[in-house]
């Protein structure tokens, strides 16, 4: 027997060596678990061809690196035994005790949830049934309230599976990577396990966007020598200055380069790789809190700090209890470098999170106070009101409230309000009290009035302005307008709207329905009843009432109408035409992705009078000497010549690259100074070009005729919604020109 002879296989010996403080009885426990796993998985192989036991040992090794207790490491060795062999949980309980059996059983139940179809880009549609993603999140969060080690074992299992994902087929790689990015990496972040979080993200990103991953990895590798020399010089200079200040026990190292984090910063800030601060980053570890701030002062004295790039996560820890000082500075040559400063204790806490606070006591189990605080925090995040009453809503709430980055704002009394990043004053109001949210009519942030969809920043002081009566607006639920982003606020808004009078709901719904169809330019082309059927409502009044109650949003209406238009266009094509669309470029507009039925090789132009774009019903007109001009089906110029023999059937084909279409838009507003500038700013923020603009003013009413270069109907709807919010604007809509 292994235990009696103390002669261990090499992989088990390496595992035990990773636990220098382990006691003899704990060695026996881990060795027995190894032996049981070895016999249970005998003859089984991984996709790589390696014995299955290598996975079990690797999972236990990850748990050992996290400095978890011997029972958790034993559970890591045994985590697949109950599922993949004839050894039952009851047999494990008899051999290893209740705790280990319970951990193995918990991991097994998490693994045996029903499968879910996951697209590589995460765009799969949710069915009405509870999918795997929902069940995973709910079960994991509930499990944490019982024994968080079940989740830690599962995370270790997923991490090793991601490290060896290259042996799986391509479709499996992408499905597992998407699930890891959506569920497991955010979960590791919530538990404060930074080391695991970033590796899960990078490994997922490698399979979800391999081209971007390879590009960044190659650029980092090519500049590694230069970067190491640079950081070495910075490190030596800072070390000398710290020692002059009697900070002698200090460790300074280059920060690991996390490819997914770099990609996100490049995308969000639209910056090239060389302008991302933490490409050149270092971490400073010192002994005490006082030394952290002293080191920060020395760094700022040596190099010029960059405004807006300092974060004190020691005074204001992140919601996952992360503590550190972050700053970015310009060196003498003008290069940027990011510096993180923390104590050794803070560093261990940041790397291992909740696992760093797990301790076993002699004669029983228990954990330190920090562990209890973390667990209490996670439990509080799961305590939602009675409005959250179904599985889908529960998971949406949890993902919003738990899995997002956080922002801390302050009430006038100095109370700190913890909200997800991107939260607005409406989210803030509902967090304080439901009634305050319902009666919210405005907000002041740091003493100045802001729009209700203003994005709160860290440290903002917020004052909510309320009315004596009234309730929330339906527009608060429109995702394109971004008024309320937390599930808590959106749930309470829907709850209030449902309680209102049905007649009011119907009237409000009719108004919203008419407005959305008018924005799309299809108001006279489709009936309200047909749109109701598209969204699975048999009666128009029920449909309008659902819109008025907030159960159906304007964006849902828009998306379904556009989907139906595209479907009709596709059905009008024969199979051969769908496979071989004929497209031509013109000297002016580029009519890409237009299939001409029964007539190839013709010059194709998009009509300027109605500005057709993909998703519109279209028809062609054969001109004299200028090929075919494509119009919208409801264009007034075409309606006047329906029987003309020069009309020809056309339809949208397929196209690989993004193309922009000139779309006419009309904005009616009460004239004021700066009106055109405000509208232009909104359009620019959406990265849309204004091809032309004409402004007519009469009796203080301004009419703006804009030609916008739009990529999609969805983008057009978003722009029109945002223009509608501009002060003095009466209406913004797509228009036909005769």
- Choose among 326, 231, 230, 346: nearest CA to 285: 346
**C-beta of residue 465 within 8 angstroms of C-beta of residue 441:** yes
Pairing of strands 650-652, 594-596: antiparallel
Rounded distance between C-alpha atoms, residue 490 and residue 399, angstroms:
14
What is the helix (H) or strand (E) element at residue 703, kind and residue range?
strand 701-710
**C-beta of residue 221 within 8 angstroms of C-beta of residue 180:** no
Q: Which of 83, 671, 709, 731 is catalytic?
A: 83
Q: Alpha carbon of 350 to those of 109, 163, 322: distances in Å?
A: 29, 22, 6
Buried b / exposed e across 453-485, counting CB within 10 Å, b at 16+? bbebeeebebebebeeeeebbbbbbbebbbbbb
Write the secondary structure of 100-129 as one string of H (helix), E (strand) and C (coil).
Answer: HHHHHHHHHHHHCCCCCCCCCCCCCCCCCC
In the residue annotation, 95 being an active-site residue is answered as: no
Q: Which residue has the tokens 């980055």?
A: 405
Q: Which of 38, 65, 80, 84 is catalytic?
A: 84
Q: What angle is formed at CA 62 by the lines to CA 59 and CA 68, rounded to 5 degrees? A: 105
Provide the 3-class DSSP secondary structure of residue 324.
coil
CB atoms within 10 A of CB 738: 8
SS3 content of the chain, % helix, strand, coil (to 5): 50, 15, 35
**C-beta of residue 576 within 8 angstroms of C-beta of residue 625:** no
Rounded distance between C-alpha atoms, residue 178 and residue 170, angstroms:
12
Rounded distance between C-alpha atoms, residue 301 and residue 707, angstroms:
53
Tokens encoding 134: 């929902």
Q: What residues have CB less than 8 Å from 658, skipping those under 6 apart?
A: 711
CB atoms within 10 A of CB 736: 18
In the residue annotation, 427 being an active-site residue is answered as: no
Rounded distance between C-alpha atoms, residue 355 and residue 153, angstroms:
11
Q: Provide the annotated active-site residues.
A: 83-84
């Amino acid at each position: 027997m292994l235990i009696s002879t103390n002669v261990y296989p090499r992989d088990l010996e390496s595992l035990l060596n990773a636990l220098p403080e382990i006691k003899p009885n704990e060695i026996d426990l881990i060795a027995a678990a190894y032996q049981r796993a070895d016999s249970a998985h005998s003859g089984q192989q991984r996709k790589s061809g390696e014995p299955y036991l290598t996975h079990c040992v690797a999972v236990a090794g990850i748990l050992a690196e996290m400095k978890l207790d011997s029972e958790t490491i034993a559970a890591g060795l045994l985590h697949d035994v109950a599922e993949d062999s004839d050894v039952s949980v009851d047999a494990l309980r008899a051999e290893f005790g209740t705790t280990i059996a319970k951990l193995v059983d918990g991991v097994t139940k998490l693994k045996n949830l029903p499968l879910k179809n996951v697209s590589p880009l995460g765009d799969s549609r949710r069915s009405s049934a509870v999918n795997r993603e929902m069940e995973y999140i709910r079960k994991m969060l509930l499990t944490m309230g019982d024994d968080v080690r079940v989740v830690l074992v599962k995370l270790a299992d997923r991490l090793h599976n991601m490290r060896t994902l290259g042996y799986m087929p391509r479709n499996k790689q992408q499905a597992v990577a998407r699930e890891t990015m959506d569920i497991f990496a955010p979960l590791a972040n919530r538990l404060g396990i930074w080391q695991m979080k970033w590796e899960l993200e990078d490994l997922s990103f490698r399979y979800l966007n391999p081209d971007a991953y390879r590009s960044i990895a190659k650029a980092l590798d090519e500049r590694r020598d230069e970067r190491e020399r640079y950081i070495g010089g910075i490190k030596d200079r800072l070390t000398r200055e710290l020692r002059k200040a009697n900070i002698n026990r200090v460790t300074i190292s280059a920060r690991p380069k996390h490819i997914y984090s770099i990609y996100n910063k490049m995308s969000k800030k639209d910056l090239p790789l060389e302008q991302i601060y933490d490409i050149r980053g270092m971490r400073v570890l010192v002994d005490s809190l006082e030394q952290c701030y002293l080191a920060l002062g020395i760094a700022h004295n040596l190099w010029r700090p960059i405004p807006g790039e300092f974060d004190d996560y020691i005074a204001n820890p992140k919601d996952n209890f992360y503590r550190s000082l972050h700053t970015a500075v310009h060196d003498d040559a003008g290069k940027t470098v990011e510096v993180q400063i923390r104590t050794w204790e803070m560093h261990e806490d940041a790397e291992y999170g909740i696992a760093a606070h797990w301790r076993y006591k002699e004669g029983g189990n228990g954990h330190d106070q920090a562990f209890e605080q973390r667990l209490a925090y996670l439990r509080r995040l799961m305590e939602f009101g009675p409005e959250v009453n179904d599985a889908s809503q529960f998971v949406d709430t949890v993902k919003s409230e738990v899995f997002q980055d956080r922002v801390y704002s302050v009430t006038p009394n100095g109370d700190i309000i913890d909200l997800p990043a991107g939260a607005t004053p409406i989210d803030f109001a509902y967090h304080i009290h439901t009634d305050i949210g319902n009666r919210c009519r405005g907000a002041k942030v740091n003493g100045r009035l802001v729009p209700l969809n203003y994005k709160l920043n860290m440290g903002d002081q917020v004052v909510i302005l309320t009315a004596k009566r009234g309730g929330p607006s339906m527009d608060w639920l429109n995702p394109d307008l971004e008024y309320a982003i937390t599930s808590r606020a959106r749930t309470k808004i829907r709850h209030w709207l449902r309680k209102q009078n049905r007649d009011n709901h119907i009237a409000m719904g009719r108004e919203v329905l008419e407005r959305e169809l008018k924005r799309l330019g299809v108001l006279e082309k489709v009936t309200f009843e047909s749109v109701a059927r598209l969204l699975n409502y048999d009666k128009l009044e029920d449909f309008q009432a659902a819109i008025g109650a907030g159960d159906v949003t304007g964006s849902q209406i828009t998306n379904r109408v556009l989907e139906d238009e595209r479907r009709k266009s596709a059905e009008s094509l024969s199979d051969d035409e769908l496979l071989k669309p004929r497209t031509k470029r013109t000297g002016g507009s580029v009519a890409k992705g237009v299939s001409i039925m029964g007539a190839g090789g013709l010059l194709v132009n998009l009509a300027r009078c109605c500005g057709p774009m993909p998703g519109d019903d279209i028809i062609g007109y054969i001109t004299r000497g200028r090929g075919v001009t494509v119009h919208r089906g409801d264009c007034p110029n075409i309606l006047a010549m329906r029987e003309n023999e020069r009309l020809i059937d056309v339809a949208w084909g397929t196209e690989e690259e993004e193309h922009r279409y000139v779309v006419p838009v009309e904005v009616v507003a009460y004239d004021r100074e700066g009106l055109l500038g405000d509208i232009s700013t909104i359009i620019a923020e959406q990265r849309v070009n204004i091809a032309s603009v004409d402004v007519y003013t009469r009796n203080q009413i301004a009419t703006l005729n804009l030609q916008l270069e739009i990529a999609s109907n969805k983008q057009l709807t978003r722009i029109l919604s945002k223009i509608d919010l501009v002060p003095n604007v009466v209406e913004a809509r797509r228009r036909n020109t005769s």
